[in-house]
Structure 1
């Protein structure tokens, strides 16, 4: 019997990527259709409003407009990354858009705000570096915060297509995993960086603006969105599902303990209610009691002696009935 060598993670990455490359290509082409419409409209609007000058806030609105369609890319790449062998790209793509359109539109707005302010903050502090060392500190913290937000953005779309959760839990869990899954986040960033590096190499020596625009458009339409998404999802999916599964197990255990505790309390109350409550007459001398209306101090109250005698006799009668009952044999 031969033992097969356990394949390294890098080998699985390459195997799943290249064996499903035609699916990744088709996913890119599907996403390229709304991309072309959005980029074309924003380019025309930018020319009208700013006469050819590039407006960063306006250009980044593409994130909001395209993010609902990006849900299809995430769903297809998630299925490929986790090892599904028969992924129906077109059906999966449009099903994801239909199911997640509203949530991803909100995600797009949130991510637009994050990206816009992070970009502006870093660019401003870079411009002021010559003014003093304090701006180096601000730049460092800006980059650090931007990196944590980038890791958070990794999880937001993946968690949305994988779990049916309210938005606040998606953002909370994604932010926590940006810290808790730091190693996998770094691997995902490196893998995505490799894809961008290959694309940059392909266009670095092009001098013609027209040719450059054509090559960049082709790379976007055929490779970039799904390839980068696949790389990120491959490295973070297992860690995310393990954490979410552990949370469900812990939640289930807590629920079980709470239910068990409530059941024990109810059983205890029922048992106490079933037992006869005996009055305590240890604070008085029973032999001195008389059947009169004279009052005597008992359990912090003044009670008639005749009433106490009646209570004592009733308790004695109940005790006698309990002893004579065959269902309650004496010890």
Structure 2
């Protein structure tokens, strides 16, 4: 731990990337198999229906998103410097455990991408006629960036904490603009990865076969897992700190509320006892009467002898 503290953050990230790279390759391959299957399905649907729309193919992200849970979980462990990660077990366990939630995340991601893209393109076209629409376009771009930051945190938070979906989305929105530094670092890292990947494609010299091979290699073995690794390396410490701190504060609030409730309950019981004692002191009972008949008092039928004892006890406590 001491050595970790003396290491620069960027050096730690590259060290974790280097030592965990074989596991990232395997993780990416596990993710690439369902990705290829779903992509082929929606590509065929897009072609056969004649729609020829990118957003038909983008439907791939919805059924694929649960498998991203496995990628996020493995890369989180690697981003924290753990070396003994069982990739297959961690990957499939998190896919199974988080399947419904990540399916919802996938739907939300699709909706966000759809409306962001069409809003920006719509206002861009309208801006050619009226410059005011460029302001709206800039606003949509800003919203799109915040949504991108939002989806940096949602997957990692889901696999790391047992939180309700409402809390996950609320915390994701807060961190999308509240953790700006971490988000910008993650974005810069993704930009560097994009530059490196583009350099490999440029080196192909326009050869379509070479470009296809390089693209396949990048997609099958590198990009998704390394992207997740970069994002998680940038955000996980601040995310952990925020969630655990909020949980600690929540526990303190719950404790204070519980203590306050107990105090109010004690006061209520004390008031009820005082009211009952006052009623007993005012109660008139013929102590010389024979028999031990039942007398109705305070909503109950109580024997006269018992009621007399209660009355005497109340009178003694009143004198004290």
What's the offset of the Cα at 1:31?
Answer: 0.9
Query: Taking structure 1 as reference, are residues 79 and 128 closer, same or farther at Cα in structure 2, changes over 3 Å only?
Result: same
**What is the DSSP-based 3-state SS (H/G/I as helix, E as strand, rest coil) of the residue aligned with 2:278?**
coil
Stretch of structure 1 that moved more, 5-14 or 194-203: 5-14
Query: Match for residue 233 of structure 1?
Result: 232
Q: Computing the radius of gyration over CA atoms, which structure comes out larger, 1 or 2? A: 1
Answer whether contact 2:62 2:107 (CA < 8 A) is retained. Answer: yes
Q: Over aligned residue pairs, what C-alpha RMSD do you find?
A: 2.8
Distance 1:15 1:234 in 2: 12
What is the TM-score of this pair, normalised by structure 1?
Answer: 0.79
Distance in 2 separating the partners of 1:3 and 1:87: 21
In structure 2, what is the equivalent of residue 26 of structure 1? Answer: 26
In the alignment, is the contact (CA less than 8 A) between 2:278 and 2:314 conserved in 1? no
Out of 89, 94, 102, the residue aligned to residue 104 of structure 1 is: 102
Q: CA deviation at 1:25?
A: 0.8
Bigger helix share:
2
Match of 1:304 in 2: none
Look up the match of 1:158.
156
Q: How far does the alpha carbon of each residue in 1:160-211 deviate from its partner, in whole angstroms, 9 at most, with x for none?
A: 1112223222222211111111111111111111111110111124312232
**Counterpart-to-counterpart distance in 1, 2:245 and 2:124:** 42
Q: 1:129 to 1:274 in 2, by over 3 A?
A: closer
User: Which residue does the alignment assign to 1:122?
Assistant: 120
The equivalent residue for 1:212 is 211
User: Per the alignment, do residues 192 and 274 of structure 1 end up closer, same or farther by CA in structure 2, a change over 3 Å counting?
Assistant: same
With normalisation by structure 2, the TM-score equals: 0.82
Q: How far does the alpha carbon of each residue in 1:292-320 deviate from its partner, in whole angstroms, 9 at most, with x for none? A: xxxxxxxxxxxxxxxxxxxxxx9xx9699
**Residues 177-188 of structure 1 mapped to structure 2, 5 A cutoff:** 177-188=175-186
Q: 1:255 to 1:41 in 2, by over 3 A?
A: same
Paired position in structure 2 for 1:82? 80
Q: Is the 8 A contact 1:78 1:234 kept in 2?
A: yes
Q: Deviations over 1:202-237 (max 9, x none)?
A: 112431223212211110111100000011011111
Following TM superposition, by how much is the alpha carbon of 1:5 offset from its aligned partner in structure 2, in angstroms?
A: 7.1
* Contact persistence 1:60–1:116 (CA under 8 A): no
In structure 1, runs of 5+ residues without a counterpart are 280-313
Secondary structure at the counterpart of residue 165 of structure 1: coil
Cα distance between partner residues in 2 of 1:119 and 1:204? 27
Q: Matched residues in 1 for 2:241 and 2:45: separation?
A: 45
